[in-house]
Amino acid sequence: MRRPGRFIVLDGNEGCGKSTQSRLLHERLVAQGSEAILVRDPGTTAIGERIRAILLDSESREMAMRCEMLLYMAARAQLMEQLIVPALTAGKTVICDRFVSSTLAYQLGGDGLTAAEIRAVADVAIKGRWPDLTVILDMPHDASMARVQRARDRIEQRPLEYHEQVRKNYLAQVRESPEKYRLVSAQGTIEEVGERVWSIVAAS
């Protein structure tokens, strides 16, 4: 029988380098002979990419926070059904760029949303298959946003106070679930941060 796969998430605030580090981790695992896939949330599937476009479109400015949360969960449900669960069942490692940890950082408190509500909806969307490890890449918001060279999307355009709270929400998750979360400083070179991530993944 195949061994169950590992589900690893890399997450963090805008510009922290999570997409780069997700790609590097995937490449390193594959180079060492591991069967691994790389996905991004929301997105990767055709349906997920269409939902992502709606979520990040500046024209979606009237979107309510509960609608926003539910759209993220819808894209996530498709990603789980179509790619993540089959890969894990086949014994592969899944590297995911963002996941429920993002919703618990970005949508928490909006329109009164609680962590319990978000987790309850997420549990339905992901069929109870939570990540085995979530690595949070952390750096101050002003430093991370300075790395964003493209036009900012709808969520990136939100005020400084919002993004500072997002960072606090990530840090709170690490404190509350030390058995499943690890915190990594995202400051330094790509190679330095990559080694920090790798040391955590290799030891877990």
Instruction: Write the pLDDT tens digit of every residue in 143-156.
Output: 777 776 666 777 88
78-91 pLDDT, tens digit each: 999 999 999 999 99
Output the pLDDT for position 142: 78
Whether the per-residue pLDDT at 12 is higher than 90: the answer is: yes
Output the pLDDT for position 181: 98
Task: For residue 4, name the pLDDT band (cuts at 50, 70, 90).
Answer: confident
Output the pLDDT for position 149: 62
Strand 181-185: give its sheet, edge to edge: 36-40, 93-97, 7-12, 133-138, 181-185
72-124 pLDDT, tens digit each: 999 999 999 999 999 999 999 999 999 999 999 999 988 899 999 999 999 99
Do residues 204 and 133 make contact, with C-beta atoms less than 8 angstroms apart?
A: yes
The one-character DSSP state at 156 is T
Q: What value does the mean pLDDT take over residues 187-192?
A: 96
Output the pLDDT for position 3: 65
Whether the per-residue pLDDT at 2 is higher than 60: the answer is: no
Output the pLDDT for position 45: 98
Q: What is the pTM of this model?
A: 0.92
Residue whose C-alpha is closest to residue 195's, from 10, 24, 15: 24
Q: What value does the mean pLDDT take over residues 47-64?
A: 93
Output the pLDDT for position 204: 86
What is the Cα–Cα distance from 136 to 134, expressed in whole angstroms? 6
Place of tokens 């036009």: 151
Q: pLDDT averaged over the chain?
A: 93
130-177 pLDDT, tens digit each: 999 999 999 987 777 777 666 677 788 888 898 899 999 999 999 999
Residue whose C-alpha is closest to residue 130's, from 118, 139, 142: 118
All domains of the chain, ordered by start, with CATH? Answer: 7-203 (3.40.50.300)
Output the pLDDT for position 1: 47
Residue whose C-alpha is closest to residue 96's, from 171, 12, 156, 202: 12
18-27 pLDDT, tens digit each: 999 999 999 9
